Structure 1
Amino acid sequence: MNYRKVYLLIIVAMLVIFLVIIHLFAAENVTIRREEAMLREGPGSYYPPIAILPEDLSVTVVEDGELWLKVQADEQIGYISRKVIEGKKDADDMFAQMGSERAITEISDIGMT
């Protein structure tokens, strides 16, 4: 076997090992901030639940999406909504209350009030 091929093989093997190690250390852990979080088969509420995750459980992020995170909890891999790691809205937060309360509107002959 040619020495050049041996060196190339060693370099490629070291590069693969290095990338695997970086990937393992780059895993981010997040904590569930809701009483119950549904671990689902896919990134959407229409996917069936796999498990219910309790509050304060730490899970490892496998893939980071805009609205859903692919996570590993113990031996299970599934998706959770990003909202479950953000925590509950503060009851004293006026803006949080505005978003959750229904607006009362009336339409009259002159316009909407």
Structure 2
Amino acid sequence: MKNRKGFLMIVLVLGFAGYIGYNYLYKEHRNISEETSSLEISASYLLERFKKNDAASLLNKTITVTGTVSEIEKNTITLSNSVNCNFETDLKNISLSTPVIIKGRCIGYDDLFEVVKMDQCSIIK
């Protein structure tokens, strides 16, 4: 009788752990373009905050960044020489020195190139 209760308890615990693990691994993908932005900030001020180690709270958050387009690659825009914004699709109809507002997920700071990195970006204006 004790063995049966112990076995049942182990099965329940393993089943619960499996359920939690499955939900953790296969949770729904974040859609950054549909999320509301937690902060609106200029590109130069964002870089300044990372240089002062004052931006840890922004990591993995949806933020809106304003700045001037200083470089354009296939699917990346650099704002004010300080923020790299990666897009899911190739960029068209964007030109250099254009002021833009971009929403995306802040993923960190690159010490070597001294730029803030963002991904899953979308152009607001």
Q: Same fold (TM over 0.5)?
A: no
Structure number with the bigger relative contact order (C-alpha 8 A, sep ≥ 6) is 2
TM-score (norm: length of structure 2): 0.31
Would you tell me which structure has more strand in proportion to its own residues? 2
TM-score for both structures, normalised by structure 1: 0.33
